[in-house]
């Protein structure tokens, strides 16, 4: 099957909107591959932090991204065979990831890597520019969002459940700052893709959101 004919569902949206959970569950239901594009930026950030890289050295950060030894297995994220699924969820890593995602050379370095995840029988890709930049010809595009308050509550619970410390006021402030960076950056800003279905999950369960995406996809056939 030619690569361009392999079905793709893109799920874009702001931080902590629930798009990752929805994307993985939809992929499981359909038997598709899954791409958590945000994890690539977090992996780059984690590598940069560990190496003490200068955040302002854009080309050095891009070099790290270009040679990222990443793999996904059984829902886990591996960096050179090390399971870093939890390590990349630390707030320090998330904040740095949001900043380096605004760097054009870093985004270019990860572009080809992301395209490579489009494999049969299909792909569900979540991020911020999946439907606008990486897979603009996707069969189904979803823009999944939620109020900043709902997202802060979810992120707080997620961090506490994983053993990280968290402060609600700090989370609200961080999310608002990330939203501002993501929507106003010059390269691939966070905006709904043309033809995208809007899904506000502020008052929805994950199962309800998953079912809605599956219904939209089923209606395409």
Give 6-47 pLDDT, tens digit per residue.
Answer: 999 999 999 889 998 999 999 999 999 999 898 999 999 999
User: 2 pLDDT band (50/70/90 cuts)?
Assistant: low
Domain containing residue 203: 3-218
21 labeled part of a ligand binding site: yes
Side-chain-side CA neighbours of 113 within 13 Å: the count stands at 23
105 labeled part of a ligand binding site: no
What the block records as the tokens of 108 is 């270019």
User: 187 pLDDT band (50/70/90 cuts)?
Assistant: confident
> Residue 18's domain is classified under what CATH number?
3.40.50.300
17 labeled part of a ligand binding site: yes
The Cα 48–Cα 54 span in angstroms is 8
131 labeled part of a ligand binding site: no
User: 111 pLDDT band (50/70/90 cuts)?
Assistant: very high
pLDDT of 213 above 90: yes
pLDDT in the model for residue 156: 92
201 labeled part of a ligand binding site: no
Q: Which residue has the higher pLDDT, 91 or 191?
A: 191
Task: Kindly report the average pLDDT of the chain as a whole number.
Answer: 91
How many domains are contained in the chain? 1
Adjacent-strand bridge partners of 123: 8, 33
73 labeled part of a ligand binding site: no
Q: Write 21-29 long-range contacts (CB < 8 A, 24+).
A: 21/206, 22/126, 22/144, 22/201, 22/206, 22/209, 22/210, 22/213, 23/124, 23/125, 23/126, 24/75, 24/124, 25/206, 25/210, 26/124, 26/210, 26/213, 26/214, 26/217, 27/123, 27/124, 29/210, 29/214
């Amino acid at each position: 099957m030619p690569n361009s004919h392999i079905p793709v569902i893109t799920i874009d949206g702001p931080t902590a909107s629930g798009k990752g959970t929805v994307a993985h569950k939809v992929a499981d239901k359909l038997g598709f591959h899954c791409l958590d594009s945000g994890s690539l930026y977090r992996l780059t950030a984690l590598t940069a932090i560990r190496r003490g890289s200068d955040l302002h050295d854009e080309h050095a950060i891009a070099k790290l991204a270009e040679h990222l030894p990443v793999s996904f297995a059984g829902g886990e994220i591996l960096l050179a065979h090390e399971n870093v699924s939890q390590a990349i969820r630390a707030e320090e890593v998330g904040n740095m990831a949001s900043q380096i995602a605004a760097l054009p050379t870093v985004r270019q370095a990860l572009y080809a890597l992301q395209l490579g995840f489009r494999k049969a029988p299909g792909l569900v890709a979540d991020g911020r520019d999946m439907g606008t930049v990486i897979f603009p010809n996707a069969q189904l595009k979803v823009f999944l969002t939620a109020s900043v308050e709902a997202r802060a509550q979810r992120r707080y619970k997620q961090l506490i459940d994983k053993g990280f410390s968290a402060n609600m006021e700090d989370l609200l402030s961080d999310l608002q700052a990330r939203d501002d960076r993501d929507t106003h950056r010059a390269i691939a800003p966070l905006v709904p893709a043309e033809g995208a279905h809007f899904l506000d999950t502020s008052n929805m369960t994950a199962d309800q959101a998953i079912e809605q995406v599956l219904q939209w996809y089923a209606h395409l056939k």
